[in-house]
């Protein structure tokens, strides 16, 4: 994980794991539910069943990326202010 060990880091790790779990459970439950309708229908429904979990994972990764960019900008601003005070 990219974050330091904080409460936010633990929460984000938990939610990412939950997102992958939701994707897996959604795929399996949809596949089993539509198995009687045919293999192709079952596979397509499994793909649709993964979407909520995968959207959650993508959203959380986006938040992690924005958080990382924010911390990097703060670090660069601090370095630039140090350079400005030296000159």
pLDDT 10s digits, 31-65: 999 999 999 999 999 999 999 999 999 999 999 89
Range in 48-52, 75-79, 83-87 the model is least confident about: 83-87
Q: Where are the domains of the chain?
A: 7-86
Give Cα separations from 42 to 25, 27, 75 (angstroms): 14, 9, 50
The pTM of the whole model exceeds 0.95: no
Instruction: Label residue 1 by pLDDT band (50, 70, 90).
Output: very low
């Amino acid at each position: 994980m990219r974050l330091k060990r904080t409460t936010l880091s633990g929460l984000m790790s938990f939610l990412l794991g939950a997102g992958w779990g939701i994707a897996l459970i959604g795929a399996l439950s949809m596949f089993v539910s539509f198995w009687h309708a045919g293999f192709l229908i079952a596979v397509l429904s499994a793909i649709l069943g993964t979407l909520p979990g995968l959207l959650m994972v993508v959203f959380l990764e986006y938040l992690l990326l924005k958080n990382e960019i924010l911390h990097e900008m703060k670090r660069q601003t601090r370095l630039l202010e140090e350079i400005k005070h030296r000159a």
